[in-house]
Structure 1
């Protein structure tokens, strides 16, 4: 794939995803280049990704936000997508999200996770996600159901948000900053499958609690900013 043919860069944060990467990278839609951000893997994930044709970026600072930011910085396409690299989400579902950004319908599109089986999304993670989505609605007016890891936006717009969280709060900070800028945020349902391998975040209770703590920090920071600088009404999904 030449630089001219790349319409979307797909950022895949990666920590020990050797078992999932062949399937994920084999599901790329046309015009989408994979940027695999190796975040400290010890299972050969980076070499596998490179052998399968992905651009591999190394980010030594651990954290979801650190990995995604490194990928967006390395991207060159006008649009950037983000997706977990664990095969829980299918890159083949991206075109529906991409179209809404390309045609100007939305500034940020989220893939709303719809569990494809009973074991796809642990109950504690679903409940935490639902509670956070409700808090986002109260804080911003955005009517969302999921702080999903699959999302699409314009690269430069994302960089201009000036996001600073480098841990689990990054996806929430992106939504809060987008709402503050009056972005049009939309959701599209996407199947959510059991991940391949061991979960590092919301698949465990400890990981979920860590994510909740990081996101509470992001919500508190947003509330402080809003108190100092009232913003215009936000677009809702």
Structure 2
């Protein structure tokens, strides 16, 4: 495929300490627009994000999935010829490594993949960066996906890239932390061409909000 227009969606709840760091590490020249979805923050997340060059959209309803859906809604308001070809999702807490984005999108741009997950299992994570419920949720969900759909994932990591048209086909619904597993389950059901690439993961900046829960997995 020709080089697609790439936009980034970052759900953010009270990330004023970290969002500027995330934006500063975006690979130069790769991304058209970074959309920070301000998820009912009570701090200066929105102001810091705007200062860092991001477009800020407000989602007063709390929830990881709610914030992601708000970012998609913003993009769908653009004319059809201005909508992105590819979306990258990552967290606003500086736990992901934005400079790994070229490796994340390469399988889509060069090899025709539909969905690429940045796997913390394959790439390595800093000690203590993931909570026990996240580790268990990863293990449970990825094994269930393999059992029922034959897709071998190792992670439900938030750092991921997907073709925008394929994302829309998934008709995403989850408003909370089940967002990532919903995407992978639906992609498997639709037999999307999926793969994982190694992605590093570090302890977040600030207080943990837990990216993924056992309830969301189930």
Give me the TM-score of the superposition, normalised by structure 2. 0.88
Greater RCO structure (CA 8 Å; 6+ sep): 2
Aligned length: 205
Which whole-Å CA distance do the structure 2 matches of 1:160 and 1:117 have between them?
A: 35
* 1:16 matches 2:14: yes
How far the C-alpha of 1:141 sits from its partner, in A, is 0.8
Q: Give the root-mean-square deviation of aligned CA atoms.
A: 1.7
* 1:174 matches 2:183: yes
Runs of at least 4 residues off by over 6 Å: none
Secondary structure of residue in 2 paired with 1:191: coil
Give me the TM-score of the superposition, normalised by structure 1. 0.81
How far the C-alpha of 1:109 sits from its partner, in A, is 0.0
Structure 1 residues 144 and 53, CA, compared in 2 at 3 Å: closer, same or farther? same
Which whole-Å CA distance do the structure 1 matches of 2:148 and 2:39 have between them?
A: 32
Is residue 108–residue 183 contact of structure 1 (8 Å, CA) maintained in 2?
yes
Which whole-Å CA distance do the structure 1 matches of 2:216 and 2:131 have between them?
A: 19
Deviation digits for residues 80-128 of structure 1, max 9, x if unmatched? 0000110000111111111111124311000001444212223442133
Which whole-Å CA distance do the structure 2 matches of 1:19 and 1:115 have between them?
A: 24
Question: Could you tell which deviates more after superposition, 148-157 or 127-136?
Answer: 127-136
2:53 alignment partner in structure 1: 53
1:140 alignment partner in structure 2: 149
Is residue 12–residue 84 contact of structure 1 (8 Å, CA) maintained in 2?
yes
Deviation digits for residues 49-68 of structure 1, max 9, x if unmatched? 01111010111121111111
Which whole-Å CA distance do the structure 2 matches of 1:196 and 1:77 have between them?
A: 29
How far the C-alpha of 1:6 sits from its partner, in A, is 8.3
**Structure 2 residue ranges without an equivalent (≥5):** 76-82
Q: How does 1:106-117 map to 2 (within 5 A)?
A: 106-113=113-120, 114-117=123-126
Structure exhibiting the larger radius of gyration computed from Cα positions? 1
